[in-house]
Structure 1
Amino acid sequence: MRLSLRTRFALLALASAGLTASGVAIGEVMNLQPCPLCIFQRLLYLLLALFASCGVLLPGWWRLWGVLVGLTAVGGLATAAYQSWLQFYPEASMACGFGEPTLIEQIVDWFGVRWPAMFMATGFCSSKDWLFLGLSMANWSVFAFLALVVAAALLASGDSQR
């Protein structure tokens, strides 16, 4: 059975929104303190959901939405991989949350002021407070963003036409 283009974009939007909701829920239940990189990944998942929703609403531009989803997912993959690296090498974590704020930290701070319950960063990027099967949330996020990159590549390819 072949899924329609709109259905594939809808599934991407639901997956991205679901990953965001899962991260927020786990953080609330486990009383975790998200770091700037965690919040930035949350923003990227929401941006992915927005672009995928645009693919549902405006399927005539499916290639544009697929490329934007892919680029956003690549950015998320890089962010999650960097955070995973910081967790494996915590002595390098001085780059996150200390000193002059980076562009990512400035973006996160801007959203955190406007919606603190969702976007306030209060944790450290090198901490691994939550583990599942030996992997941190950042490690799992690497796999999730990688899956989204693959899905976006399939969507943006010529094979995705209606």
Structure 2
Amino acid sequence: MQISLTMRQAALAVALGAAATIGGALVFEHVLGYVPCKLCLIQRNPYYIAIPLGLVAALLPPRYARIGLWLLALVFIVSAGLGAYHSGVEWGFFAGPSDCGGGSGAGAGNVGDFLNQLQSTRVVSCTEAAWRFLGLSLAGWNVLISLALVGLAAMAAARKGFYLGR
């Protein structure tokens, strides 16, 4: 099966892939109760940049869409690097940030609320993977997803049209 994508379609596909990935991270956090650590939150930033960038690139004329796709590829190279670093911290290959702990996401209204929040808040270490699938943590999956999005964006930017499949 052969699928032909234009640069605009590829930019939209990258934006949708980024949105789906962030959506998955938010489900893990808000539905399944996994509290993200500092590095987890930092790894989301490239996705927050890529979603609007991909949507804008999809709407631009081909010349500018190509530039947008190269920028998307760069954003996801950075994202893959952040995920690889975090994976290395989880496996003990690198030292993580000294202040690496998760937040509760809600501000305290007064001192009493703050003290209650301190008692119920669990600090999340960047060195412990909260979840693994097929041996990879969420940071490891971020590396794979980011590299796939790099490939998609770069292949589309390098040619006027390209094919996926045979």
Residue 81 of structure 1: CA displacement?
0.2
2:32 matches 1:27: no
Structure with greater helix share of residues: 1
Q: For residues 24 and 56 of structure 2, what CA distance do their matches in structure 1 show?
A: 22
Conservation of the 8 A alpha-carbon contact between 1:96 and 1:125 = no
What percentage of residue pairs aligned between the two structures are identical?
Answer: 30
Change (3 A) 1:31 1:153: same
Higher relative contact order (CA 8 A, sep 6+): 2
1:127 aligned counterpart, secondary structure: coil
Question: TM-score scaled by structure 2?
Answer: 0.75
Task: Render the CA deviation track for 1:111-143: whole Å, top value 9, x for unaligned.
Answer: x9xxx47xxxx6322121111122110011110
Question: Any idea what SS the aligned residue of 1:2 has?
Answer: strand
Equivalent residue runs for 1:43-82 within 5 Å: 43-60=45-62, 61-82=64-85
Unaligned runs of 5+ in 1: 99-111
Aligned positions of 1:1-162 closer than 5 A: 1-60=3-62, 61-89=64-92, 92-93=95-96, 95-97=97-99, 116=105, 123-160=124-161
Shift of 1:152: 1.6
Do the aligned residues in 1 keep the contact of 2:7 with 2:157 (CA within 8 Å)?
no
TM-score (norm 1): 0.77
Distance 2:98 2:57 in 1: 34
Q: RMSD across aligned C-alpha pairs, in angstroms?
A: 2.4
2-structure distance, mates of 1:97, 1:15: 31
Structure with more of its chain in strand, by fraction: 2
Larger displacement relative to structure 2 (60-69 or 26-35) = 26-35
Letter in 1 for 2:16: L
Say whether the 8 Å CA contact 1:5–1:59 is kept in structure 2: no
TM-superposed deviation, 1:159 = 3.8
In structure 2, list runs of 5 or more residues that go unmatched.
Answer: 107-122
Q: Across the two proteins, how many residue pairs are aligned to each other?
A: 141
4+ aligned runs moved over 6 Å, structure 1: none
- C-alpha distance in structure 2 between counterparts of 1:96 and 1:146, whole Å: 28
| Change in CA separation of 1:3 and 1:160 when aligned onto 2, cut-off 3 Å | closer
